[in-house]
């Protein structure tokens, strides 16, 4: 049985990755410190003999006994609200955490895949974004702590690959959605759906002409799985290239939820990207991958998940009134 360590296991993507690798017959070790993760995301695995949870902060030294075949580094705050609430932790998990995990991969002769992001492209001047585009990032702007953490993460990963010969993989994740997202974390999909469920008007920043491309979580996980098992060591975009404006997307959500609220407009936040669309030519060529789940289907599944939340979860005030970035 192959052994895989998945950091950020209690997070949105991390928990789905735990499910996938258990399904594929792996022994999964899930690591998280719950700074943004949620224990309920992995509660269903608590009695599974192929899953073992490790409560640990990856920015601290990592001891792991025995053999290890693969590492997936998905530990990181990943929502706009997090960038402002915990900026130092965001920088540390991308730098110190990645360094620790690369060291573990080297010691165990394990292959490691690190989760990068479309945010490394910043507010792009190239559209759609290809892997050879270097990006347009404000290093000291409000998004800088996340963007630069991920850019450094890619650099140190390639350094370990070229200097130490560690088997590395880099996935650049574009907007992903599905069950287990945090409802009030500032991202556009849970923000709109949460507002709809609470009977609030939907908040659009700027004039709503900025675009995003949304990939359903099952498609994202499939791309990550294929990349890990591939022989390709350079960054690969994994996302859905079907682009939509935030204004049109808000109207889609109103239609999906059957609500009668209107769309209201607020000032566009600093450094909010105007366009975000992956070029997935490389993923198609190297991995034979492209998204399969239609947005209407994926959004219905996601909305049904949010409808199943308790009233306390729906009205939790911690992030509900956040008026920050669209992601």
Residue corresponding to tokens 């702590």: 145
Annotation marks residue 146 as catalytic: yes
Identified catalytic residue from 70, 121, 146, 177:
146
- Transcribe 270-320 into DSSP letters: TT--S---B--HHHHHHH-----S-HHHHHHHHHHHHHTS-HHHHT--TTT
Between helix 246-257 and helix 295-307 the angle, nearest 10°, is 60
CB contact at 8 A, 236 and 171: yes
Provide the sign of the torsion angle of the four alpha carbons 305, 307, 309, 312, taken in this order: positive
Q: Please state, as a whole number, how many other Cβ atoms lie within 10 Å of the Cβ of residue 234.
A: 14
DSSP annotation of 241 reads -
- Tokens standing for residue 57: 């902060």
Give CA separation, 177 vs 163, 180, 183, 298, in Å. Answer: 36, 9, 11, 8
CB contact at 8 A, 214 and 189: yes
Beta strands in the chain (DSSP E): 3-7, 27-32, 51-55, 70-73, 111-117, 168-173, 176-177, 202-205, 211-213, 215-216, 236-238, 243-245, 263-266
Q: Would you name the residues annotated as active-site residues?
A: 146
């Amino acid at each position: 049985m192959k052994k895989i360590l998945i950091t950020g296991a209690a997070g949105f993507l991390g928990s789905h990755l735990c499910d996938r690798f258990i399904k594929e017959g792996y022994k999964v070790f899930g690591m998280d410190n719950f700074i943004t993760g949620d224990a309920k995301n992995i509660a269903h695995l608590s009695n599974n003999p192929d899953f073992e949870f490790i409560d640990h902060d990856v920015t601290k030294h990592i001891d792991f006994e025995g053999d290890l075949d693969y590492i997936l580094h998905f530990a990181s705050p990943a929502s706009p609200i997090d960038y402002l609430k915990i900026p130092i932790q965001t920088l540390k998990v991308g730098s110190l955490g990645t360094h620790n995990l690369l060291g573990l991969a080297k010691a165990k002769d394990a292959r490691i895949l690190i989760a990068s992001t479309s945010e490394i492209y910043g507010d792009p001047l190239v559209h759609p974004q290809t892997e050879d585009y270097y990006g347009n990032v404000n290093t000291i702007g409000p998004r800088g702590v996340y963007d630069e953490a991920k850019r450094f993460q890619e650099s140190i990963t390639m350094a370990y690959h070229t200097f130490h010969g560690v088997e590395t993989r880099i996935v650049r994740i574009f907007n992903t959605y599905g069950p287990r997202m945090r409802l009030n974390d500032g991202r556009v999909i849970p923000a709109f759906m949460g507002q709809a469920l609470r009977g609030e008007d939907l908040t659009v920043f700027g004039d709503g002409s900025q675009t995003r491309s949304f990939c359903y979580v099952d498609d994202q996980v499939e791309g990550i799985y294929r990349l890990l098992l591939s022989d390709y060591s350079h960054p690969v975009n994994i996302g859905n290239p079907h682009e939509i404006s935030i204004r049109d997307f808000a109207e889609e959500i109103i239609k999906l939820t059957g609500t009668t609220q209107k769309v209201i407009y607020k000032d566009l936040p600093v450094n909010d990207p105007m366009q975000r669309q992956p070029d997935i030519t490389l993923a198609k060529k190297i991995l034979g991958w492209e998204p399969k789940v239609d947005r209407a289907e994926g959004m219905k599944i996601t909305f049904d998940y949010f409808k199943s939340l308790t009233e306390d979860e729906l009205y939790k005030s911690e992030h509900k009134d956040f008026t920050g970035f669209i992601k």
